[in-house]
Structure 1
Amino acid sequence: MLNLFAGRGRRLGAAVAASAALALAISGCSGGGGKKSTGNAADSSITIFNGATGTIVEQWNPFIPNFLQPTEGLIYEPLYWYNFASNAEPQPVLATAYSWDATGKVLTITTREGVKWSDGQPFTAKDVAYTFDLIKRTPEINAGALKIVSSEAKDDKTAVLTFEKPSFTDEASIVGNTPIVPEHVWSTISDPKTSINPNPVGTGPYKLKQFSAQSYVMEKNPNYWQAGKPQIQNIRYIALATADAASAALTAGQVDWMSSFLPGLDQLIKNQKNLTYVNTPALTASIFTCADTSYGCKGPQTDPAVRQAIYWAINRDQLNKLAGGGFAETASPTLLLPERDKDWIADPANLTTPGGPDVAKANQILDAAGWVKGSDGIRAKGGEKLSLTIQTVTGWSDFISLNDAMAQQLKEVGIELKPTQLAWQEWNTNEVQGKFQLSLDSIGLGASTNPYFTYLKYSSTTTAKVGTAAGLSGNYARYKNATVDAAVAVAAGTNDEALQKQQYTIIQQEIVKDLPYIPIYINSMLTEFSTANATGWPTNDNKYALPATWKNWDNGVVLTNLVPAK
């Protein structure tokens, strides 16, 4: 497997699609990686490998799922930016202030002055109002399912958005995850849900310079509103086919920035003076269970006792060594991140998952639930054998290793785990439609660090019966709990963090008991950098952005902070 994304939120499916496909042999690169920088910004360039393979399919429409990865962050910008590498407040980008009315239905936005589009036209609040009106009029591009009533510009600096219902918890989707587009360009696009937007005009630090079926290059936007930025003139994107090719390109100085799980990374870069890396784990590798029989789920995993036994029986320390390369971090049964989100985790006992197994506890849980070991060592109850199938994707070597190791670990407590490998499309369809018993996946990043976006995955409002696609927020476990539903609804209707925390405490008590998603560990998110052509990369001591090359919005932040190497 080209194990580039060890632990992808939805296994980074959206990110892979957004990366689109490239085909450029490393040996054919000119400029960028492999060319020593002169320290002169005018001719500076770097090369990025963001995990893309194949041939390029042109797509610069920021509202279409398979847009090319630089679309959001390099070309288009949001109103605010959320740094998932920390718990810092959102940073102003195209807006400088916003406020809700008391009902949470009216959002007033103050836009930044002095911003120009890359074609030189002025940016105003009218562009913001137009963007949200376009989303309102075109349901197919309303990825956040925003309930917009109206969107208007009061003047060149003030946009007012009105929503059908209290929308406090949609704040991050609205201000942090909506690309703002120019009215003077998009008003001429006949079908915004299908256009490839071949000549993109944005406010971001870069604009499209060169595009072909072999590669693409972004160049500095001379009209960029941040004075003196960016300093790197050209950004070239390339494709690689294998993990070996990625390792070779990195050590040969032909790539400046990549986010790849490379076995033996420390040894690989040991004698490479220009190479470094950071690890920013943020995605919780988990066993998704089809949990509720009322939605059509079938199998032993519908018994909470079985899910609890799995939770206690697996040896996470061993799994990290075998499949995580030692780079994974400890998860939480609340599905939040223990370090970043500890203030949201109510019970200290639920801060982290156990490292080693508690076989005695797992056996006790199964015994009490009536699961009895047979002569073959596998338990059964009411004529049903405690045998479970777990699906993952063919080629995902780290997850395949996890399944193989867990099969041995769970056998000790009388659970038979039968791993199966499927093509990505079949695996994904099964998960979305609930056609699985267990599925190995990761809990991904929400629109912000507020737990609301994680806990939507436990709400029955975002799920459906087996055979029908679950909602956008993805309660793929088909979990149903009236107490959780009520708490999610209350949290959605307030911006009072104290009240939200009360509701999340209720949710955590329920989900830790029921475990429809069984956390394994927070998978590694390794990103490698070369300082040969540029400096100013994020470091372990200064994670000013989530450095993964595929991370929308953050990619623009990183590139605007780079300076040519001397």
Structure 2
Amino acid sequence: MMLMSTGRPRRAIAAAAALALSGTLAACGGGGSGNGGAGGVLTVSAGAGGNFVRNFNPYAPQPLQATNGMIYEPLFHFNAARTGEVDPWLATKYTWADGGKSIRIQLRTNVTWNDGKPFTADDVAYTFQMTKDNKALNMYALPVASVKAEGKHTVVITFTKSAYTKEYFLLGKIKMLPRHIWSKLSAKEKATTLNPNPVGTGPWKVKSVKGTTLDLVARKDYYIKGLPHFKIMRYRAFTGNNAANAAVASGQIDWAGGFIPDIEKNYLAKNEKFDLVNIPLATTSFIPNAQRGPTADVGVRKAISAALDRDFMNKSVYDGQAPAANPMALLLPNYQSVLDPSLEGATMETGQDKVDGYLTDSGYAKGPDGMWRKNGKKLSVSVELVSGWTDYVSVAQMAKEQLKKAGIDLVVKAESYSQWSNNRARGQFQMLLDNAGYTPDPRAYYAQMLDSSIPPEIGQSTNVGNFGRYANDTIDKALDKIGETTDLAQQKPWYYKIQQEFIKDMPLIPLFSAQNEQEFNGNRVTGYPTENNLYAAPSIWLDPDGGWVAARIKPASGK
């Protein structure tokens, strides 16, 4: 166990409601007999994505899952499942100074890149300097002023303003890159190259990418002795949820994260050692385009929301396991500490009278066919989703029928993951069906959804969030104010302001708690996160928790 100093009062995020972490890092995990141990092949599902494209660039659109955490690593592991737990990864400790305008980071001393060259402070300084020099690479809008390497294992970063609230992104999300490789690329290449043969610090190297199979091979020189426990990590991709679920239920997959309808019958009952870990970490929502098209009108957004029967969707699609979200889209009980008391128990507005009121106020009128029109044009909104995500397909079809009854035309566009994610990244859509969250902090949660400094203009790409390009000066100010202090009492009014503005503007249309079903084949694997041992979020696809778990999951006894 290694110690970390924050330079601020010691308190967990759950108590401070900010990225003010506890002063002691969680146990690292690990052990085992040796790197690339005798575990053979760990087979995991990459979900419904079709053939793999050999893209391992963390800054390019649609990098493969293995990019983040398996090959490239951040400085620390922020446990998305347990707010306030932080583990050393490439770094061992950090200290804030000057009211959050400076941070000193101490690195491990025994790390090498997978090409054998040493990992040093120069690599870290170079990575953060890139974000300062190239706006397209500054995915988390880090206010970097300067970066300096002090010797081989210490880095000091200064900021133009307090960066406390960027702590999670700065230390837990940005992946360190090798200076001796990336300095040879132009600014444009850094954002677009597919980087097919990545040089990372992670426990795995790319062995092969063929069709729907991606193989990683364990490094024998990984800096944490005993990790990983499997020699090969094999990703398998499928054309859709049905094909993926069939492979999972037949025992072909060791670790998966797909939605399985009636999971008790269709998975758990198949084998006594099949296991399910379900830790909700996000909210499923319709994400409207806030700048273009009909959903740029808040009245349209609220009318769509009021026409939806979330309870029916939950019971029909998720067997009652996905309760309706609240109108603030606040993850509860995770973020209970920052809930506006006046909104305790708040529920979504529903009903035709609400639909009629919002659309009438927005200048729409009902035609003789019962459909709403404005300037003679029918109110029609398209929603894009991934064709292989069968639960979302069902949700969208139900929404289509519900909106039709309310007089709104919903066009469902089921498309490939690559097309969907490209449109999402560039803001080229009217509405998306997606989910947001997977962060240990409410400020980061709202920032990813609402911070106007994160997304570029429509047509330019972002992998981070606020895909609908929503902008609200009041929310931006509230996010900044939260970052100026670690005192919960001072932060609370600004969290309340964000929640009130969210209800007023409905920048996203919250639906329900996102399912996070992770299936583990106990005949083949052990040592994965469980409700009793949540050392990380158990999601195979989560960046970078999936990489943290992949190195620590072990072969079942005798396998």
2:442 aligned with 1:450: yes
TM-score (norm 2): 0.79
Cα distance in 2 for residues equivalent to 1:379 and 1:52: 36
3-state SS of the aligned residue for 1:278? strand
Cα distance in 2 for residues equivalent to 1:303 and 1:187: 45
3-state SS of the aligned residue for 1:218? strand
Match of residue 335, structure 1, among 329, 333, 338? 329
Cα distance in 2 for residues equivalent to 1:163 and 1:153: 15
Counterpart of 2:497? 506
2:60 aligned with 1:60: no
Cα distance in 2 for residues equivalent to 1:432 and 1:557: 26
Match of residue 256, structure 2, among 233, 240, 258? 258
| Preserved contact between residue 230 and residue 555 of structure 2 (Cα < 8 Å) | yes
2:302 aligned with 1:314: no
3-state SS of the aligned residue for 1:110? strand
| Preserved contact between residue 39 and residue 555 of structure 2 (Cα < 8 Å) | no
| Preserved contact between residue 149 and residue 164 of structure 1 (Cα < 8 Å) | yes
Structure 1 pair 115–498 and aligned structure 2 pair: CA distance change class (3 A): farther
Q: Report deviation, 1:150.
A: 2.5
2:535 aligned with 1:544: yes
Cα distance in 2 for residues equivalent to 1:464 and 1:70: 26
Structure 1 segment 214-363 matched on structure 2, within 5 A: 215-269=213-267, 270-290=269-289, 297-298=293-294, 302-304=297-299, 307-347=301-341, 349-350=343-344, 353-354=347-348, 357=350
Structure 1 pair 60–361 and aligned structure 2 pair: CA distance change class (3 A): closer
Structure 1 pair 238–368 and aligned structure 2 pair: CA distance change class (3 A): closer
2:524 aligned with 1:533: yes
3-state SS of the aligned residue for 1:42? coil
3-state SS of the aligned residue for 1:339? coil
3-state SS of the aligned residue for 1:444? strand
Cα distance in 1 for residues equivalent to 2:185 and 2:355: 59
Structure 1 pair 41–506 and aligned structure 2 pair: CA distance change class (3 A): same
Cα distance in 1 for residues equivalent to 2:545 and 2:292: 40
| Preserved contact between residue 173 and residue 447 of structure 1 (Cα < 8 Å) | no
| Preserved contact between residue 297 and residue 434 of structure 1 (Cα < 8 Å) | no
| Preserved contact between residue 434 and residue 477 of structure 1 (Cα < 8 Å) | yes
| Preserved contact between residue 50 and residue 212 of structure 2 (Cα < 8 Å) | no
Cα distance in 2 for residues equivalent to 1:134 and 1:549: 28
Counterpart of 2:6? none
Structure 2: state its 5+ residue gaps: 1-35
- The share of aligned pairs that are identical, in percent, is 33
Q: Report deviation, 1:521.
A: 0.9
Name whichever of 335-344 and 138-147 sits farther off: 138-147
Structure 1: state its 5+ residue gaps: 1-39
Structure 1 segment 20-35 matched on structure 2, within 5 A: none
2:123 aligned with 1:123: no
Counterpart of 1:45? 41
3-state SS of the aligned residue for 1:51? strand
Cα distance in 2 for residues equivalent to 1:556 and 1:336: 27
Cα distance in 1 for residues equivalent to 2:235 and 2:422: 30
Counterpart of 1:516? 507
Structure 1 segment 460-475 matched on structure 2, within 5 A: 460-461=452-453, 474-475=465-466
| Preserved contact between residue 386 and residue 415 of structure 1 (Cα < 8 Å) | no
Q: Report deviation, 1:96.
A: 1.9
Counterpart of 1:4? none
Counterpart of 2:398? 405
Cα distance in 2 for residues equivalent to 1:433 and 1:134: 22
Q: Which amino acid aligns with 1:274?
A: K
Cα distance in 2 for residues equivalent to 1:83 and 1:464: 28
Q: Report deviation, 1:46.
A: 1.7
Structure 1 pair 361–541 and aligned structure 2 pair: CA distance change class (3 A): farther
Counterpart of 1:160? 156
3-state SS of the aligned residue for 1:506? helix
| Preserved contact between residue 103 and residue 157 of structure 2 (Cα < 8 Å) | yes
| Preserved contact between residue 95 and residue 111 of structure 1 (Cα < 8 Å) | yes
Cα distance in 2 for residues equivalent to 1:241 and 1:429: 18
Structure 1 pair 137–290 and aligned structure 2 pair: CA distance change class (3 A): closer
Match of residue 418, structure 1, among 405, 410, 415? 410
Q: Report deviation, 1:80.
A: 0.9
Q: Report deviation, 1:107.
A: 1.8
Counterpart of 2:30? none
Counterpart of 1:6? none
Equivalent residue pairs, number: 517
Please list the CA deviations of residues 512-539 of structure 1 after superposition, one character each: whole Å capped at 9, or x if unmatched: 1222322111221222111222211222
Cα distance in 2 for residues equivalent to 1:507 and 1:221: 45
Counterpart of 1:441? 433
| Preserved contact between residue 371 and residue 378 of structure 2 (Cα < 8 Å) | yes
3-state SS of the aligned residue for 2:533? coil
Cα distance in 2 for residues equivalent to 1:102 and 1:344: 26
Structure 1 pair 321–169 and aligned structure 2 pair: CA distance change class (3 A): same
Q: Which amino acid aligns with 1:169?
A: T
Structure 1 segment 135-150 matched on structure 2, within 5 A: 135-150=131-146
Q: Which amino acid aligns with 1:341?
A: Y
Cα distance in 2 for residues equivalent to 1:447 and 1:76: 19
Match of residue 481, structure 2, among 464, 482, 490? 490
Structure 1 pair 334–118 and aligned structure 2 pair: CA distance change class (3 A): same
Structure 1 pair 344–258 and aligned structure 2 pair: CA distance change class (3 A): same
TM-score (norm 1): 0.78
| Preserved contact between residue 333 and residue 351 of structure 1 (Cα < 8 Å) | no
